[in-house]
Structures are given as C-alpha cells and as structure tokens.
Amino acid sequence: MLADLEELVSCESFSDDHAAVARSGQVVAAQGRRLLGASPRTLNIEGVTHVQWTFGTPRILLLGHHDTVWPIGSLKTHPWSVEQGIARGPGVFDMKAGLVQMFHALASLPSLDGLCVLVTGDEETGSATSRALIEDVARQCSATLVLEPSAPGGALKTSRKGVSLYDITVHGRAAHSGLEPEKGVNAATELAHQLLALGGVADTVIASTGPGTSVTPTLMKAGTSNNTVPARAALSVDVRVPNAAAQEAVDQFIRALEPRIPGARVAVEGGPNRPPLSPDASAELFALATEQAVRLGLGPLRQAAVGGASDGNYTAGVGCPTLDGLGAVGDGAHADHEHVVTATMPARARLLAQLVGALR
C-alpha cells in the first residue's frame, strides 16, 4: 500500500494544470487496472481527466478524486517520506491515500459486480466538468461511499455544509483623484458599503433558519493606479450553509444588494455550488459501517459534521444515500503538515471491503 501511495503522491496533480492531471490519471488507471483486473474508461471533459470503472449494473458508487491543491513543484518543498509511521507529501491525505485504500479493499473482494468506481480530476476546484457525471451515476445507485479523508481521529463525515460562491463586481466611474475626484464614482468605496452589508447576512439567515451559516469575503481588488478614482472593484464571497433553506436565503439576500453611492452599479455572479449533505443522507450507512467495524474488532466508529464540502454533497443532493470520510486517517489537508497515519490504512481498507460486502 505504501509503494502504491508513493507512486500516486510522486505524480503531482495540481487541479489547474490539466497536463499534470492527465499524467496522474494515467497512474491512477494503471494502479486500478493492476488491482481491479480491468481497464477503466478514461474521460477527458473540457481538458480534465477522470477515470471510471463500471462492473455490471452499478448499485454502489465509490467516489474519489486524484487532483490536489498543491502547485507543481511542491514535491521539492514537501517531499514524499515515511518516518515513524507518518507518510507525508502533497495530496497524501487529501486524498491519494484514500484511493490506495479503495483499490486494495476492492482487490480483496471475490466479485466487483454492481460497483462503479469514479475518480475525478477537478474536485478541488468545484467539479465543474465532473458534476454531471457524478450525479448521473449516483441516480442509478442505492449508496455512495466517498473516500475523502476522515475527520479528526478517523471519524466518518456524516454531514457537510453546502457551498455557494459569488463574485460581486462594482462598476463606478474613473476620474483623476487629484484634479477632479468629484467627477468620479468610487467603486472601491461602494465595495466597502457592500462589505458592510454582507457582514449582516449570516446573522440574518441564522435568525430565520438556525445556526451554522457563514458568509466570508475572500478575494478583493479595486483600481488601476494610485491617482485614479477606481472605476471597478471586485469581491469574491465564500458561503457555507447547514441546510437548503439557509442556502436559498443567502442567495436571495446577496442578489438583492443595491448600490449606496449614486452612479454606482453592483453586479452579482455565481450562486449555490454544492448542496448540503444532511445527516439523514448518511444515517443508515453510518449505522451499517459501525456494525461492520465492531465485527472487525475496530471498535465503534465516530461521526462528525464538517464545514468543508466534497463530491458527496452532489450524490446526496440527487437523493443517493451517502457516507463520506471513509479514506485516510491523518491531518493537515491543504496545509504544510498534511500527513497520513500509515498503520491505519489496512484497517480502513478492510472496513471499506466489509461495508461494500454488506451492502451487496
């Protein structure tokens, strides 16, 4: 398993580098071909490489991704290593160890009939090219098992917040900031008004739909030079919501933003990206997984609700029961301390194999 993990980690697969993702897709395909005994279908959608195996009529979807947030060259600063039972390297936790565990789990089964294995190449950037594929397969299945990394301590992820992403653009009017600033319409100042308005969105939504909503301004830019009244300003906003009602309420509020400065114009693009994964979508699968863990002597499993989203949000959104966080145990997704506890990998693979067997 560690040899396979080293192979995947050593093939960098930054989401925005489609050539790198294509190379990674070849490695994933070869590894799966060796362990599953079948060649995959490799799909290139708008330049992004996805890898899919289908055995018979799909009833269970095993879902993962091979792209990472780590830019090409990260191996130089975060090299592959295994020391004192800790594996490190770009993407080792999120989520290449999960792919290795999945392949080895399935390799132990006497039959793969009824399974679909889908490894996408753009999860980290929102799954724009793979969403339709994921949802189409999930609609055919009675369960989706997501090999994303676990929550702290190995807990499975039984609830995920929904995600909405917005780009707010303010259009003003340029003017010389020293000679005649009064002739301009300052887009930066108008954007500041919009920032203040956004500051109250989460509190308003929480009051009507319950706790758990966050509205976070992220990227911001304004102006072209230090002696010009900015004619344009832009803001990106990341929204996390616990339920569909909150997602709709935030959407209505943001789309209703109005300019405060005469002559300014506010344009809103974007909207809901991933629906929430509710606890109801995971309850029965988590109970079944817990039974299998006890049978294997792994003890009762723990569950967690998390703010981050995954492609499991999509499968749950189309009504397919979904259990997430079945992948690696470790910590540090997207961070310098990203790592996997290697001793847990065989046990997690056995749990997945047992769970798939119980579902069939």
Tens-place pLDDT, residues 287-324: 999 999 999 999 889 999 998 899 999 999 999 999 99
Catalytic residue among 12, 67, 251, 324: 67
CB of 322 within 8 A of CB of 139?
no
Instruction: Determine the pLDDT at residue 250.
Output: 97
Instruction: Determine the pLDDT at residue 313.
Output: 97
Instruction: Determine the pLDDT at residue 350.
Output: 98
For helices 97-107 and 345-359, the axis angle rounded to 10 degrees is 50
Instruction: Determine the pLDDT at residue 207.
Output: 93
The residue among 68, 93, 87, 76 whose CA lies nearest residue 15 is 68
Q: Judge whether 67 counts as a catalytic residue.
A: yes
**What's the CA dihedral at 275, 280, 281, 282 to 10 degrees?**
120
**Which residues in the chain show pLDDT less than 50?**
none
Catalytic residue among 4, 12, 94, 123: 123
Q: Which helix (H) or strand (E) holds 101?
A: helix 97-107
Instruction: Determine the pLDDT at residue 347.
Output: 97
Rounded Cα distance between 197 and 211, Å, is 19
Instruction: Determine the pLDDT at residue 76.
Output: 98
Q: Judge whether 190 counts as a catalytic residue.
A: no
Instruction: Determine the pLDDT at residue 299.
Output: 84
Q: What does the DSSP assignment read for 318-354? A: TT--EEB--S--EE-TTSTT-EEEGGGHHHHHHHHHH
How far CA 64 is from CA of 152, 184, 245, 299, 327, in Å, comes to 19, 51, 28, 25, 9
Instruction: Determine the pLDDT at residue 22.
Output: 98
CB of 157 within 8 A of CB of 107?
no
Domains recognised in the chain with CATH numbers: 2-160+276-359 (3.40.630.10), 162-274 (3.30.70.360)
Instruction: Determine the pLDDT at residue 155.
Output: 98
Rounded Cα distance between 258 and 266, Å, is 7
CB-side exposure of 13: number of CA atoms within 13 Å? 33
Instruction: Determine the pLDDT at residue 352.
Output: 98
